[in-house]
Amino acid sequence: MRFRTVGLCALGLFVAAPVHATKLAGEFMAPGGGARALGMGGAFAAVAADASTVFWNPAGIAEMQKRQILAMHAEQFGDLLNYNFGAYVQPTTLIDAAHKPAFGFALIHMGDPDQIVTKQYTMVEENGQKYLIDDNGNRVPYDAIPRESNNSFAGFGSFALETGYGFVGGTLKLIYQDFIAGESSMGIGIDLGYLRRDFLTKNLSLGAKLQDATGTYISWSTGTNEFIIPSVKVGSAYRIDSEALNGSVLIAADADVFFDDRQAASQFWSETVSTDVHLGLELSFQQKVMIRGGLDAENPTAGAGLYFGMFGLDYAYLHHDAFDSTHRVSLLATF
């Protein structure tokens, strides 16, 4: 129980505070989605090359010429938390096709199953062993203790198009959280994205996402609120074509900049401003086999991908010193 609680706190799943800029509010969304991006340490704002870009940088969906669907499942920190991500991108001709308009949708779900609810019982200790008793003094069997789940959801709806200055996009996101003891919350926010290919040189890309652009309120059933102030994700990616690999080498770097006084919760901080850095590397062989590695802040990542026809299979590994490792698997279909 204690370890599970620590895990939740580490991801910002806590009871809401009064209205102000809340540290780590909505942090359950932070891992993002897509095993390709996560195998590269989350350095994907300028890569933005599959359906997961609905989350990483909505501007990138305008570059996709075909429909694409992606589904990912992860066991966060061993089996501590369940994490699911799904995304779909649909190019459209309803608006001037010359601007490559596209819609995208994504869903994030984080669940903490089988939380033991003990508030109606009393913890006692006897001969060095702890157990629960009910109001009548009867010991309660472990299997009889009621359990509930914490569940957090975020839905994303994006639109993007190409302009003379690069790709631009925006996302409307809806947040819903349902915790034990009947507490729940709802919120709404906006993300804005920008992507520029061939910047200064042919193979250099730049990307940026203004997250929670207008600030995001999360209103709780308890009457309290959380407030997510805007943050910025900026990134670059450089591709080196390789005849020896009959493929390419992709190098990417992102920086997440926060203004909510996270201090030691981030890699680098000064007063109220803090930054996490993400680094990623991908080796592509014949555009069919990919090997990846990276750093997600201070945590090493690794991954691989296999692409055949319209389908793709990606795997990502995250090492964490304080928790068990995280494994992510995603499936991709382009049609």
Amino acid, single-letter form, for residue 202? K
Q: Given pLDDT bands bounded at 50, 70 and 90, which one contains residue 7? A: very low
- What is the model's pLDDT at position 187? 95
Residue 58 has pLDDT above 70, yes or no: yes
- What is the model's pLDDT at position 147? 64
Tens-place pLDDT, residues 105-141: 999 999 876 666 666 667 677 776 666 777 777 776 6
Tens-place pLDDT, residues 252-296: 999 999 998 888 888 999 988 999 999 999 999 988 999 999 999
- What is the model's pLDDT at position 313? 98
Residue 169 has pLDDT above 80, yes or no: yes
- Angstrom distance (rounded) from CA 303 to CA 295: 12
- Angstrom distance (rounded) from CA 123 to CA 103: 53
Mean pLDDT computed over every residue of the chain = 87
Name the DSSP class of 67: -
- Angstrom distance (rounded) from CA 70 to CA 53: 10
* pLDDT, mean of residues 130-158: 76
- Angstrom distance (rounded) from CA 298 to CA 301: 10
The percent of residues in the chain predicted with pLDDT above 90, rounded, is 64
Which candidate, 285, 267, 287, places its Cα nearest to that of 276? 267
pTM of the model: 0.83
